[in-house]
Amino acid sequence: MRQPHITSAFDQDIDGLYSRILTMGGMVEQAISEAGRALESRDDERAAEVIRADREIDAMEDDINTAVVSTIALRQPAAADLRAVVTVMKMAGDLERLGDYAKNMAKRVPVLAQAQGVDGAGAALRRQSRLVQLMLKDALDGFARGDLDLVRDVIQRDVEVDQMTNALFREFLTHMMEDPRAITPCLHFLFISKNLERMGDHVTEICEQVIYLETGARPELRPKGDVTSQMTAEQGGA
């Protein structure tokens, strides 16, 4: 993570903060994975558990922010050390938002369990959520090991998530045009896919924080593949 040097009180604080970020990240990974499974298997119980667990993720963010503020107040870090604690706070914010999106996904499970099924939709969204979860896992590993190649690779993979969203938009729009009974479930699927696209953006932001932390430089321009704001059903039907 950082160069080894004589252990100070500040180092102990920052090690504690990093380990809390990794714990929080693990909780969010779990939430994304479980929300994806709940969606595919139309499992209300599993979805309810994701919603419940989100409170712990929120509490974790509060803990981290409190610890960051007290570290700054007590240790008065300068330069690189200050950058490290500020980065921790930003990462916690992104993780909290990722948890929120997973909760939102889970909230849609009960109404989808009642609605008409749409062939392959649950499986496709599960695959997309798996992609985001693996991006997050590698982003956290990259953070833990200071592995910039790995986090840069994660940033590139966000394009896949965007492309998957575009493809699913076309598919769900076609279903909606063909069968009015598919409108309700497809609408929820569209929101879930769009949320996953935004989740990919938050993982990208975490990666950018890691790059900033390690290099002190703002990261390169990120690739963008999401075109859903320009999409029409005419492009969809084909």
What span, in angstroms and rounded, lies between the C-alpha atoms of 105 and 223? Answer: 25
Q: Nearest CA to 108 among 23, 38, 177?
A: 38
Stretch 196-235 residues interacting with a copy of itself (CB under 8 A):
218, 229-234
Q: Give residue 186's identity as a one-letter amino acid code.
A: C
Contact 18, 1 (CB under 8 A): yes
Q: How far from the centroid of its chain's Cα atoms is residue 49's Cα?
A: 18
Size of the site for a copy of itself (CB under 8 A): 40
Distance CA 221, CA 155 (A): 10
Q: Is 177 in the site for a copy of itself (CB under 8 A)?
A: yes
Nearer to a copy of itself, 145 or 178 (CB): 178
Q: Report the residue number, 145 or 224, with the smaller CB distance to a copy of itself.
A: 224
Q: How far is the CB of 150 from a copy of itself (least distance, A)?
A: 25
**Residue window 91-120: x/- pattern of binding to a copy of itself, with contact defined by CB under 8 A:** --x----------x--xx-xx--xx-----
- Determine the length of the chain: 238
143 with 203: CB under 8 angstroms?
no
Residue 48 touches a copy of itself, criterion: CB under 8 A: no
Q: Is 3 in the site for a copy of itself (CB under 8 A)?
A: no
For 124, residues 6+ apart whose C-beta sits below 8 A from its C-beta are 164, 168, 171
Q: Check the CA dihedral 3-4-10-12 and report its sign.
A: positive
Q: Which stretch binds a copy of itself (CB under 8 A): 123-131, 135-143, 145-153, 176-184?
A: 176-184
Residues 77-96 within binding reach of a copy of itself (CB under 8 A)? 78-79, 82-83, 86, 89-90, 93
Please give the residue ranges that form the binding site for a copy of itself (CB under 8 A): 62, 65, 68-69, 72-73, 76, 78-79, 82-83, 86, 89-90, 93, 104, 107-108, 110-111, 114-115, 173, 176-177, 180, 183-184, 187-188, 190-191, 194, 218, 229-234
